[in-house]
Structure 1
């Protein structure tokens, strides 16, 4: 069974789990001897409860990752629910807006420098699933308390909360790739099987930590980037090291090295998940633009899907905004639009939580500005 077939299978399973929860709630309401008008408040409650409790289970899921990491001595980096991110900046909590397509949340922690066991990594990856299941079991136990199970509102709330916890656990615990992003179960499976992937996963988390603390990629020790290892671009963990090698070359303004890396990665592009394919195409377009590749070659890469991806990301990510600026200046040759995007880039820098990216992206956009 290939990955696409697996993804379809898990989506079908997820759909029928949702259907089962809905049918269960419907059956409880149907057993009531109240009229449809009398049931209306209960239905309104459900419409409010379901999205609110699903969001609460998303928060619980990310908190599970955080608590599992803290228990192993990891350092807090950031906590994101949808587009809202809490991170640490100069020892203080900082609120910002950030987005990664295909994800509802993300908790980033920085591993300690001492060696980590496979079980510690597994605990971190599955911490969210465990806390979702734990809260679902807690909801089930609360249903057995007479003071609660005599309340219709209490019963409905706990059933929805329990169902949301089970759905979150299943959708994150069963290994598959959704929206181009491997879920926790898939990450856990790959880390168990492959020592190199385990070390890359740890080093990528450490690189994230350095960046968030304001250290530029070019100043991070080269050992973290695994340039000497034979990396598998089809592996969603190992390919992250490839992208960080590319990002480091760009931060050094070493465009010859960056082009070499892109050319090598493009040869394996079809083996990458969708998100990484899009990210690679972004940097491929950027490098082609600054070396003045003919427009028809850029147009081949700049599909409608790619344009949508850039628009979706440029409000939150400096690299996407840098690409949008480069397209306006060198491809569209629209100076007014380019200046508007340049000002937008400058404003985003003032509130960007990945501090180590700011100076590198500024250097790149200033390089383009001089072309």
Structure 2
């Protein structure tokens, strides 16, 4: 970067640290010095945090980043395949058809239908000794929404005929239908997510978060907080923490929690139907009861009939997986447990590593299982075990070909960061940062703080552009202000500092005085 381009630039800490030190919700320390030491991962801080976390969870896993996965018995892939160092170069041998996956990523993220899980679903393939498969509806030519819509319209017309056309008020009633449709669309989502909450509590679950649109209530460190957060492709989400499992069979209650939303939609629809039949026509109210029946059926059927929507599994699909596959149960349990621990203030790196393990022979077309690879990668990155994280990503992209494309894209984003922090090979970075990945990043950059961290490293370490890097920091700050997982922010901030330190080491920026 030219000297005259650097005039007026502030140092990394000048534009990052004031924000961090002013936000007690992110770093609640007594002094700026203590906060700075925390961010840079000082020995005293690590020892103190580990001591605190050890009261809640076992954290006795080895830290040697040179250990191979075969040597580590807790390793993600459970010794089912041989791994050689040559596979680390396998990224250059990907089939060109892999790029086609990105297209389905964008389609899945841009869809606006309501779902409760960020997980995709296609077909279920059992282990190597079985040929049984489960085909779940969905895909590019999914006709279910159209069929359900025709059914709903038929029900609405039938209910109108039940009272007689003459009792309705023509254009006025049509306007009432439209008004009620707008109102009850949100009400149906609230009822649906409320169903997950009610049946989750009845099953012994603990509350973690409740979101409608971008309005989110999350229980952080025992305190209820309000955040604004949106996940593309979902209209709402109720996340809870399952009761502890007693053995490796993962026999925990999941059926009612998974289908609680569908059950409540049908209950509400039944109440509206009975009320409409029992009551005489009442202007405006009767139109609302009809729409209540129609929308309850719509949400209930679309979420209850097993299917995928752009790689996202609905409630019925998850319930079907959990009923048939032990790996699905473990993945479902682990993801809810990990999310719950985050809300309790525990970093990924301080969690029990066994939460992130899954059998390599598991079905990676199953979205619950596929998501575990990205979680394992996040765990290793949070521990600063970059070599292991890179090894896992390369191995997964090359060998776990059934993994969902959206999760592959997430792994490629993290691989980009690891390459920038490592050898920073221009050829590999250019190959990774192709047009398809750029589109994926553009779609997700305002939802995930990790994306801004990755872009910060890209602008600073590859393009060597401090101004654009600062723009990513500014965007990071905007997202962080309403980000629901405060503990996750600590790790991301540490990684931002690590990227800045790498830039200083390479002479890209001057060392802060």
Q: TM-score, normalised by structure 2?
A: 0.66
Which residue of structure 2 lines up, in the alignment, with residue 131 of structure 1?
Answer: 264
- Residue number in structure 2 paired with 1:71: 202
| Map of 1:358 onto structure 2 | 489
Cα deviation, residue 260, structure 1: 0.8
Cα distance between partner residues in 2 of 1:129 and 1:90: 30
Are the equivalent residues in 2 in contact too, given 1:75–1:109 (CA < 8 A)?
A: yes
Q: Say whether residues 1:345 and 2:458 are aligned partners.
A: no
RMSD over aligned Cα, in angstroms? Answer: 2.7
Alignment of 1:69-218 (within 5 A): 69-115=200-246, 120-146=253-279, 149-218=280-349
**C-alpha deviations, 1:78-127, integer Å up to 9, x for none?**
01112221111243321112222222111110112244975721111011
Equivalenced residue count is 366
Q: Does 1:54 align with 2:182?
A: no
Q: Taking structure 1 as reference, are residues 102 and 348 closer, same or farther at Cα in structure 2, changes over 3 Å only?
A: closer
**Structure showing greater relative contact order (alpha-carbon pairs closer than 8 Å, 6 or more residues apart):** 2
Shift of 1:65: 0.8
Asked whether the 8 Å contact 1:175–1:184 carries over to 2, the reply is yes
Change in Cα spacing, 1:114 to 1:8, as seen in structure 2 (3 Å) is closer
CA contact (8 A) 1:233 1:268 kept: no
Q: Is the 8 A contact 2:303 2:315 kept in 1?
A: yes
Counterpart contact for 2:363–2:402, Cα < 8 Å: no
Equivalent of residue 333 in structure 1, options 448, 458, 464 = 464
Deviation readout 1:148-177 (Å, 9 max, x if unpaired): x31142221111111111111111111111
The verdict on how the C-alpha distance between 1:359 and 1:193 changes in structure 2, with shifts beyond 3 A counting, is same
Instruction: Give CA deviations for 1:216-249 in whole Å, capped at 9, x if unaligned.
Output: 1111112212267654433211223222211111
Unaligned runs of 5+ in 1: none
Q: CA deviation at 1:359?
A: 1.4
With over 3 angstroms needed to count, the CA separation of the structure-2 counterparts of 1:201 and 1:153, relative to structure 1, is same
Give deviations 1:234-269, integer Å, cap 9, x for gaps.
321122322221111100111100011101211256
Q: 2:217 touches 2:227 (CA, 8 Å); kept in 1?
A: yes
Structure 1 partner of 2:388: 257
Q: Quick check: 317-326 or 115-124, which moved more?
A: 115-124
* Structure ranking higher in helix proportion: 1
Provide the rounded CA distance (Å) in 2 between the counterparts of 1:268 and 1:127: 36
Distance 1:59 1:141 in 2: 21
Q: Deviations over 1:124-162 (max 9, x none)?
A: 10111111111111111111222xx31142221111111
Larger Rg, first or second structure (1 or 2)? 2
Q: Is the 8 A contact 1:270 1:277 kept in 2?
A: no
Does residue 1:288 correspond to 2:414, yes or no? Answer: no
Distance 1:130 1:252 in 2: 41
C-alpha separation in 1, matches of 2:447 and 2:186: 21
Mapped contact 2:136–2:307 kept (Cα < 8 A) = no
Q: Where do 4+ consecutive residues of structure 1 move more than 6 Å?
A: none
Matching residue of 2:19: none
Contact 1:313 1:320 (C-alpha < 8 Å) held by counterparts: yes
